[in-house]
């Protein structure tokens, strides 16, 4: 199914919106742009460096895929006012990025340091695969 071939599944629409265009600009002390609001979904080099400094790998619990192989995902989705800023960016490998968009009944939290994922039933995904919920 192509982009202009008829009805688009809501999950696909949301994935497209995650990468869509809509501009306050915030810079660091070197003048590098760190926040472009909703002007663009494209993360620039300075933003990627900043997110990589904070999180050098996929933030999905237990995933160690290196940042160079990850997408930067806006934790707060664009359709809910999320912007293209370092504070809203989370490294997710392609597998986990796509998974989040396909499973909107799962939830996540991000406090600018720790990314936590919760299944649809509310149980948390733990990095230790052998972790058993009490």
133 occurs within a structural domain = no
Range of the domain at 88: 10-117
111 occurs within a structural domain = yes
**pLDDT, tens only, 75-118:** 887 777 888 888 889 999 999 999 988 998 999 998 877 899 99
**Which token pair is 38?**
């909703």
* Contact by Cβ (8 Å): 47, 30: no
Is the pTM of the predicted complex or chain greater than 0.75? no
Report which of 68, 129, 128, 78 is spatially closest to residue 101, judged by C-alpha positions. Answer: 78
Please give the tally of structural domains in the chain. 1
**pLDDT, tens only, 26-50:** 677 877 766 666 666 678 888 898 8
């Amino acid at each position: 199914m192509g982009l202009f071939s008829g009805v688009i599944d809501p999950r696909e629409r949301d994935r497209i919106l995650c990468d869509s265009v809509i501009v306050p600009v915030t810079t660091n002390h070197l003048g590098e742009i760190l926040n472009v609001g909703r002007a663009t979904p494209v993360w620039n080099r300075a933003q990627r460096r900043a997110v990589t400094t904070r999180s050098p790998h996929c933030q999905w619990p237990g995933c160690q895929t290196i940042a160079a192989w990850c997408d930067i995902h806006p934790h707060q989705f664009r359709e809910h006012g999320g912007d293209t800023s370092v504070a809203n960016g989370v490294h997710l490998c392609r597998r986990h990025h796509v998974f989040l968009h396909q499973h909107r009944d799962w939830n996540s939290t991000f406090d600018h340091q720790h990314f936590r994922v919760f299944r649809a039933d509310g149980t948390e995904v733990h990095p230790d695969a052998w972790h058993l919920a009490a």
